[in-house]
Amino acid sequence: MTPGIELLRFITRKLAASLPLIFGVTLISFTLTVHLGPDPAYAMLGKNPTAADLAAMQRELGQDQPFWQRYASYLRRLATLDLGHTESSGEKVRDLLARTLPVSFLLLAPGFVLGTVLALLLAMFAAWHRSGRLDRLITGMSVIGMSLSFVIIIIALQAIFGVWLGWFPVRGWEVHGPASYLNHVTIPTLAFVLASIGYNTRFFRAMLVNAMTADHVRTARAYGASPIHIMCRHVLRGCLLPIITRIVYSVPALAISGSLLMESHFSIPGIGRVTYQAILSGDQPVLMAVVGLSAVVFAVAVTVADLLCRLADPRIRLA
C-alpha cells in the first residue's frame, strides 16, 4: 500500500471518528443556544406589538416547532452547507463568515506566531540556564504574565497607546494595505503576546527541561557541542510531540475565545465579535454556523496534530 493511500485512510478514519464528536457538539450547542437561549422574537418586534404580532414572529422564527424537529432541520441544513441568513441584517451567513473569518485570522495570526516563537526562545534560554539567573528571571516573568488578566492588558494598552500617546488607532479595521494593517494590528498583537507568553513559556520550558535529562543530550553537552546545536537538534526533537500537540490544539480554542474580547473592545469586525453579539441577541443561524465550524476545526486540529506527531516520530503507529 503506497504511503499516500495509507495517509488518506488515516485521515478519513480520524475524521470519521470525529463524527460523534461533531454530533455531540452540535447537540449541546443547539440545546444551549436555541432551546434555552435568549428569545430573539422580542428584540425584533417594533415599538408597540400586540400578542398576535408576537405569535406571528415566533412562528416566523420557528419557535413553535418541537425541539427534535428544529434540531433535525438544523442538521440537514448543516450537512448541505445551507447556513441560512443572520437574523439581524438578513445577510447570508456564508457571506458573513467569508467577511469576518479573514479579519480574525489576520488579527490573531501575528500574535499567535510571535507569541509561540518568543515563548519557545525564552523557554530554550531558561532551560539551558536552568536554575541560573536567567532562568529565574524568565520563570518569574512567566508567572507574572500568567497572572495578568487579559482584560487588564487590553484596558491598559488602549489607555496608553490609544488615548495618551495616540500612536495607534484605538478601534476599527480599515485595512487597505500593509501600512494600515500594521497600524491596526500592533496593539492587538501586543495584547495577545503579553497574555499568552507566560503560559507558553512555562509549558515549553517544562517540556524542554524534561527532554534535557535524556542521555544523548548529556552526552552532547559533555562533548562540548554548541548550545544552539544541542537545543535544536536533540532537545527539541525529544519534546516535539507535546509541543506540537499543544500548539495545534490551541488553535481552535484561540479562534473564537481569543478574538472575542479583543474584537469587542477594539471594534474589529471579526468572527469573535459577531459570535458574541449573536449569543446576546439569540441570532441562531450565526451561532449554529460558528459552532459547527468550530467543531469541524477541532476535529481537523486533532487529525493534524496526530499527523504531525507521526511525521515527527515515525515510531508512533497510525493507530
Partner 1 sequence: MSFARAACAAIAGMLIVAACEHPGGSGHDPVVYRHAIDGIPASLDPAHAANVYSSTLVVNLYDTLFRYRYLSRPYELAPNLASGMPEVSEDGLTWTIRLRENVRFADDPAFPDKRGREVTASDVVYSLGRHFDPGTRSQGAWLWRDRIAGLEDWIDAGADPDRRIPGLYADDDSTVVFELTEPYPQLAHTLAMALSAVVPREAVEHYGREFGVRPVGSGPFVLEHFDETRAVLERNPHFDRGELDLAAEGHDRQRHAELGLDVLDGETYPFLDRLEIHFITEPTARWTSFVAGEVDNVMVPPEQADRVLASRDPIRFTPEFERRYHTQAEPEAGFVLYGFNMANERIGHHPDEHIDRANRALRCAIRDAFDWQERNDTFYQGLGQIFPGVIPPFLDAFDPSLDTRSTDHDPQQARARLQAHGWTPETLPQLTYGLEASVHQRQMFEQFRARMEAVGIPQNRLRSRAFASFGDFSRAIGNRELDLFFMGWTMAWPDAQYALQLFYGPNAAPGANSFNYSNPEFDRLFERAARLDEGEERTALYRRLNEMIIDDCVHIGSLSRTRLHLWHRHARMLPDREMLGGYFLRFVDIGATP
Partner 2 sequence: MTRGHAKQMPHRPWRMLRIDHIAMIVVIAYLAGALGVWLGLWAINWAEITGAMWAAPSAEHWLGTNRLGQDIFSRAVAATATAFEIGVLVAVASILIGGLAGAVAGHFSGSPLDELILWLKGTIDAIPFYLLVIAIAFALKGHTMAMHLAMIVAFWTTTARVVRAETIRIGQAGFIEAAHAGGSTPTRIIFRHLLPNLVHVLLIQATLVFVAAIKAEVVLSFLGIGVQDSISWGLMLAEAGQDIMAGQYMNFLAASLFLFGLVLAVSLLADRLQDRLDPRTRHLRSVGIE
Question: Which entry of partner 1, partner 2, none binds 151, CB below 5 to 8 A by partner kind?
Answer: partner 2
Name the burial class of residue 105, with classes exposed (0-12), middle (13-18) and buried (19+) by CB atoms within 10 angstroms of its CB. middle
**Where does the chain have alpha helices with state H?**
3-17, 19-30, 40-44, 51-60, 67-79, 93-128, 133-147, 150-157, 178-212, 215-222, 227-229, 236-238, 240-253, 259-266, 271-281, 284-312
Q: Does 253 bind partner 2 (CB under 8 A)?
A: yes
Query: Which CB sits closer to partner 1, 43 or 225?
Result: 43
Question: Residue 36: which of 306, 282, 316 has the closest Cα?
Answer: 282
Taking contact as CB under 8 A, which single stretch among the options 161-169, 227-235, 286-294, 305-313 is the one that binds partner 1?
161-169
Cβ 39 to partner 1 shortest distance, Å: 5
Question: Which entry of partner 1, partner 2, none binds 169, CB below 5 to 8 A by partner kind?
Answer: partner 1
Q: Does 316 bind partner 2 (CB under 8 A)?
A: no
Cβ 279 to partner 2 shortest distance, Å: 5
Q: Which of 1, 5, 36, 51 binds partner 1 (CB under 8 A)?
A: 51
Q: Which of 101, 146, 304, 312 binds partner 2 (CB under 8 A)?
A: 146
Q: Does 75 bind partner 2 (CB under 8 A)?
A: no
Region for 269 from its dihedrals, namely left if φ exceeds 0, alpha if ψ lies in -120 to 50, beta otherwise: beta
Q: Does 44 bind partner 1 (CB under 8 A)?
A: yes
Check: CB of residue 315 under 8 Å from CB of residue 113.
no
Instruction: Report the distance separating Cα 42 and Cα 49, nearest Å.
Output: 9
Compute the Cα dihedral for 289, 294, 300, 303 and give only its sign.
negative
Taking contact as CB under 8 A, which single stretch among the options 203-211, 232-240, 250-258, 267-275 is the one that binds partner 1?
267-275
Q: Does 166 bind partner 1 (CB under 8 A)?
A: yes
Contacts with partner 1, residue ranges (CB under 8 A): 38-51, 53-54, 56-57, 59-60, 85, 88-92, 99, 158, 162-163, 166, 169-174, 265, 267-269, 273-274, 280-282
